[in-house]
A = this chain, B = another copy of it.
Amino acid sequence: MTPPPPARPGDPIEAVDTPALLLDLDAFEANLHAVHAFVAACGGRVRAHGKAHKCPEIARRQVAAGAVGLCCQKVGEAEVFVRAGIRDVLVSNVIVGESKARRLAALARGARIGVCVDSPLQVAQLGAAARDAQAPLELLIEIDTGMMRCGVRDTSEALELARAIDTHRPWLSLRGLQAYQGRAQHLRSPEERADAIARAGARVALFRAALEAAGHRCAEVTGGGTGTYPLELAGGAWTEVQPGSYVLMDADYAANLPAHGAPALRQALEVLCTVITARDTHAVLDGGLKAFAVDSGLPVLPGSGWRVRGLSDEHAVIVPGDDARALAVGDKLRSVPGHCDPTVNLHDWIVAHRGGRVEQAWPIEARGALF
């Protein structure tokens, strides 16, 4: 049921069938090495977030470039990454359900597996599954950093979970805290982001102190994303950071004003489309809502002089600006999606290219790994 790849090695970019995801390898590698070097210089570790790319080949390159492992949001993603040879995977999300707990415990037979919890039911399900599989799971207590989403909200809840984890020794152990401030990633000004992460850091310190005072060790505090990772590192409360979009980038992240000291990131991800109708008033591309996620805005068409007016299921209607270049039926146009993660999730292949040629089409194996 996987569609065939849209390109073959050696093809010129213009021969890629459309719509297709493109990955500029020069930009990808520059982002990868710049962020990993920056994090290392800060004394931190990168746990690369696989939810952004869902692609084993990218995951392997992240580990080869120094990431301690991957994180992901779904058990199905963890299955793909472990199968692809990643030996250290954290599900940076709370999961609920006996079936999911059993699948995760099965992975722990062959890899180091972490997972987050914020309620006693999750601990009970994971404990039973780990014992049945005779495979250890390392748990992180997720704390609510101010997002009002998942995570415990006061230290008494965290202490209750830590005690519950202890009752499942040796199959469960406490690795530490998951502390992610997702809303801060997209605050435009560095000052706003710094303020949000400073407050999250104070929460981390509070929870860590309460747990350690009760004899529970927090070896790791993990969290942070592409928009804030230098701030988590500078604050000193986090031991590892979880950037994901940094290797791809998107129009929404590009709108963030640069953060203090972080390397500038290049746009590595694009969607290639073909002009299927061309008029003096507008043109139509062959990619719509099934090729682009629009939750963070419409795609943009850098350097073309054209602007996306709107998307329908399979079409993008684009309109020319004053400096628009002429477009004819059959022309191919590159675009930058508003939000990389859910856009990548719409595609089965990402076409890695360099110097105008396709190097390889990589399968996005964890695409659709929803549960």
Interface residues of A (CB under 8 A from B): 1-3, 6, 17-20, 51, 73-74, 76, 93-97, 99-100, 118-119, 121-122, 148-151, 153, 182, 274-279, 281-282, 284, 286-287, 289-291, 293-295, 311-315, 317, 329-330, 339, 341-342, 345-348, 363, 365, 367-371
For residue A289, which residues in chain B have a CB less than 8 angstroms away from its CB? 293, 295, 339, 341-342
Q: How far is the CB of A99 from chain B (nearest CB, A)?
A: 6
CB-CB under 8 A from A339, the residues of chain B are: 289
Q: Which residue in chain B gives the minimum CB-CB distance to A52? A: B313
Could you tell me the distance between the alpha carbons of A106 and B169 in the complex, rounded to whole angstroms? 61
User: Shortest CB–CB separation between residue A247 and chain B, in angstroms?
Assistant: 16
Task: Name the residue on B nearest A72 (C-beta).
Answer: B314
**Contact in complex: A290, B18 (CB < 8 Å):** no
Q: Which residues of B contact A293 (CB under 8 A)?
A: 289
**How many monomers of this chain does the complex have?**
2
Assess the B284–A348 pair: CB atoms within 8 A: no
B347, A150: Cβ atoms under 8 Å? Answer: no
Assuming the A-B contacts A3-B369, A122-B329, are A314 and B276 also in contact, with contact meaning beta carbons closer than 8 angstroms in the complex? no
- Asked if B73 and A314 make an inter-chain contact with CB atoms under 8 angstroms apart, the answer reads yes
10 pairs, A vs B, C-beta closer than 8 Å: A1-B367, A2-B368, A17-B97, A18-B97, A97-B330, A121-B330, A149-B315, A153-B279, A290-B370, A346-B346
- Given A118-B277, A153-B279, A313-B342, verify A96-B1 contact (CB < 8 Å): no
Chain B residues lying within 8 Å of A122, measured Cβ to Cβ, are 329
Q: Considering only CB atoms, which chain B residue lies closest to A152 in the complex? A: B277
Q: Check B347 against A370 for contact (C-beta < 8 Å).
A: yes
Q: Which residue of B lies closest to A344 (CB)?
A: B290
Contacts of A342 in B (CB 8 A): 289-290, 313
Cα(A148)–Cα(B283), bound, Å: 9
Assembly CA distance A290 to B346 (angstroms)? 9
The answer, among B94, B274, B369, for a CB contact under 8 Å with A277, is B94
> Which residues of chain B have C-beta atoms less than 8 A from A121's C-beta?
329-330
- The distance in angstroms between the C-alpha atoms of A148 and B282, with both chains bound, is 8
- A1-B287 Cα distance, complex, nearest whole Å: 23
